[in-house]
Structure 1
Amino acid sequence: MSAKIMNVDNEIKGAFFDMAHTPSVVFDKNMVFLDMNEAAISTLNIKKSDFIGKSILEAFPYLEGTERLEAYKNVIKTGKPISLDEISFYTDDKTFVFIVRAFKVGEGLGVTTLDITNLITTIDKLKATQNNLQIVNKNLKLKNKELEEFSYVAAHDLRAPLTNMQSLFGMLESSNAITDEVKPIFDKLKYVGKLMCDKLKALNNVIALKSNLEDKKEKVIFKEVVAKIKAIHSEKIVTSRAIIKEDFTALPTINYNPVQFDSILHNLISNAIKYKHPRRKPIIHVSTHLENNKPVLIIKDNGLGFDTSNGKSKVFGLFKRMHTHVEGLGVGLYIIHSIIVGNGGQIEVVSEENKGTQFKIYF
């Protein structure tokens, strides 16, 4: 190769070295600075003249005896390049973090770097934010637990005086102390007292349920659960002439908390019987299938149905009732919704007055 070609080649290499975006330096075999590019000078905010001719230890005395310095010497000795992650460089006023690539150049060493200082700072901030969020989340869980315990104690303690009040009502009634004139008012007081007791009991059940949503899951067989519900409500089924149609061929079992799953199906099937249409016998379809490889349970009836124009989410509110002509507290659907959402699922409802209701549960 002619001297002219070699000079052109060296000029190209030199231009590339100077214009490279990443900080780069060149050392001789004794680890003395031979050259550094503009990116190194501007990134570290240094003068080139302060480094050229100095050894690496004169510039960075903290490298004395480090594995990094030995690794650099080994590259010169063996010719095998190395890569180092998150290497710190210290100047008088700042610390830099680089990804380093070291390789042999002639008899010396070439080092090119990628400045990741800002990236590391961002990651550290994100970690700190994550830690703070974890602390906040832990505190929120603690506060929620305290509120649950307070609610349970409050509801439990309120039941005692209400129960005593009901006993006093019973004593008054049995002693014939209630006159015909005040009997209507007395009966209303009894009804209100019973309603308050029932609601407090329901609240305790809801609180107990919410505190046990993370219980262990096991294999649940749909057909067995429905059979149990049929046995419990056999009298109502016979009286109403209800027909329960089942189809679990697509998905005969599911991994779920058995008590919670019983509560879901029990509430939905018993509601379908309770809110049957007066002019036709209730037909209840219970089936399973897969949507996008996820299990789905559908309970559909031909009962009274209800108006959902005011918002379907209100259906699952605590003490919200769609019909008031039969006894109930409006707790069942709230409990179902809490169980399903607490287990990471979703429930949808489609209903139309006098035509029926369909609940679709995504597990």
Structure 2
Amino acid sequence: MAAVEGEFDRDLRGAFFNMAYSPFVILNKDLNFVDINQAALTAIKIKREDFIGRNLLDFFPYLKENERYQLYKDVLVTGKPVGFDEVSFHTDAGVLKFMIKAFKIGDYLGMSTLNVTNLTNTIDQLKTTKVNLQTVNDNLKRKNQELEEFSYVAAHDLRSPLTNIHSLLDMLQNENAISEAGMPVFDKVQQVAKQMCDKLRALNSVIALKTKSDDKKELLSFSKIIEKIKVNHAEEIVQSRTIIKEDFARAPNIDYNVIQLESILQNLVSNAIKFRNPNRKPVILIKTALVKERLVLSVKDNGLGFEPATDPNKIFGLFKRMHTHVDGLGVGLYVTNSIITNNGGAIRATSDINKGTEFKITF
């Protein structure tokens, strides 16, 4: 019965050896190949008769001067298996790479292998792609910096002649050099010159914000920032009888750049006052909350509002304006959106005509 079980055991191991998906080989004490499974023959594209009986050095001559050859022999003596992460095998079709584990099996040396050629090639390709992407990213950063510098210089250089034009127009008006018939056209030219000067000034501010933004952050109190904004807008708040309500109980502080946070709240509060509804007392509710572990700031007013379906590109676009009956350039919300998105946040506006607007910022 024991003999039958032993024969069955050998047959089972033989079947496993031959049917295994990974390449296996067996060598004797002289490191000559005595057996090889079908997976190995397929991987290295060699005939069994060209393999059996040949020495390991016939296929890997460089191992003679390599410590790995001795390590294989040590396995036969000590019985302790050894492993190697990446071994190259050169064939007519190219270089194959294997992970190898050598172990003692009876009086023989067994080697189980894993073909990692595709994996290592993929890793090499990913490394190359990463280097290429880094190069592209560096080039894009350089181009963006050059473009921003050009924009700043162009806007700055254009501002001077436009300011001169505005001054010359004032001189003509002060000297009564414009006829009564030409005065309407002259007034239009003055308005256009002023608008261009204002837009260039605003554009310079936007470019300066993007190019010279300080990434330094500190723990800030929303209450203290709002108090500062109230002082800056004290006259407007009193004249408009605006009521500002605050609720920072759920999230009183934030780690942010102080100049950037002041700019965000200043723009939103200023807009809420500017676009108030003349038929009711302006009320601005500013509050914070934690939603899915992220801080959310809400600034809600009861002002003029705008169409609910308004395109966000119009709301937050540069020089885009929702209302034209009051002075403005359409820069504030663009700056606000830029600051928030550059810091990995998002801003969303919901509104309705004559009901008000709410801005929600997720930091």
Deviation at 1:21, TM superposition (A): 1.1
Match of 1:318 in 2: 318
Match of 2:254 in 1: 254
Deviation at 1:229, TM superposition (A): 0.5
Q: Name whichever of 189-198 and 119-128 sits farther off.
A: 119-128
Q: Name whichever of 326-335 and 128-137 sits farther off.
A: 128-137
CA deviation string 1:291-335 (max 9, x = no partner): 001101000000111113242332001111000010000010000
Match of 1:279 in 2: 279
Quote the Cα distance in structure 2 between the aligned partners of 1:183 and 1:190: 10
| Pair 98,214 (structure 1): closer, same or farther in 2 beyond 3 Å | farther
Asked if structure 1 preserves the Cα contact closer than 8 Å seen for 2:199 and 2:329, the reply is yes
1:289 maps to amino acid: A
Asked if structure 2 preserves the Cα contact closer than 8 Å seen for 1:223 and 1:252, the reply is yes
Deviation at 1:80, TM superposition (A): 1.2
Match of 1:203 in 2: 203
Match of 2:175 in 1: 175
Match of 1:123 in 2: 123
Match of 1:221 in 2: 221
Match of 1:294 in 2: 294
Q: Name whichever of 151-160 and 28-37 sits farther off.
A: 28-37
Asked if structure 2 preserves the Cα contact closer than 8 Å seen for 1:213 and 1:339, the reply is no
Quote the Cα distance in structure 2 between the aligned partners of 1:23 and 1:213: 59
Quote the Cα distance in structure 2 between the aligned partners of 1:243 and 1:15: 85
Q: Do structure 1's residue 165 and structure 2's residue 190 form an aligned pair?
A: no
TM-score (norm 2): 0.97
Quote the Cα distance in structure 2 between the aligned partners of 1:213 and 1:100: 54
Secondary structure of the residue aligned to 2:329 is coil
Deviation at 1:185, TM superposition (A): 1.2
Q: Do structure 1's residue 24 and structure 2's residue 24 form an aligned pair?
A: yes
2:54 maps to amino acid: K
Deviation at 1:244, TM superposition (A): 0.4
Quote the Cα distance in structure 1 between the aligned partners of 2:93 and 2:275: 77
Quote the Cα distance in structure 2 between the aligned partners of 1:163 and 1:59: 83
Asked if structure 2 preserves the Cα contact closer than 8 Å seen for 1:288 and 1:296, the reply is yes
Match of 1:185 in 2: 185
Q: Do structure 1's residue 52 and structure 2's residue 52 form an aligned pair?
A: yes
Match of 2:41 in 1: 41
Asked if structure 2 preserves the Cα contact closer than 8 Å seen for 1:159 and 1:200, the reply is yes
Q: Name whichever of 2-11 and 268-277 sits farther off.
A: 2-11
Asked if structure 1 preserves the Cα contact closer than 8 Å seen for 2:29 and 2:108, the reply is yes
Asked if structure 2 preserves the Cα contact closer than 8 Å seen for 1:88 and 1:95, the reply is yes
Quote the Cα distance in structure 1 between the aligned partners of 2:91 and 2:203: 65
Gaps of 5+ in 1: none
Asked if structure 2 preserves the Cα contact closer than 8 Å seen for 1:288 and 1:295, the reply is yes
Deviation at 1:233, TM superposition (A): 0.6
Match of 1:10 in 2: 10
CA deviation string 1:7-29 (max 9, x = no partner): 33222221221111110000112
Asked if structure 2 preserves the Cα contact closer than 8 Å seen for 1:319 and 1:330, the reply is yes
2:323 maps to amino acid: H
TM-score (norm 1): 0.97
Secondary structure of the residue aligned to 1:52 is coil
In the TM superposition, what are the counterparts of 1:231-270 in structure 2 within 5 Å? Answer: 231-270=231-270
Deviation at 1:214, TM superposition (A): 5.6
Match of 1:134 in 2: 134
Secondary structure of the residue aligned to 1:64 is helix
Match of 2:75 in 1: 75
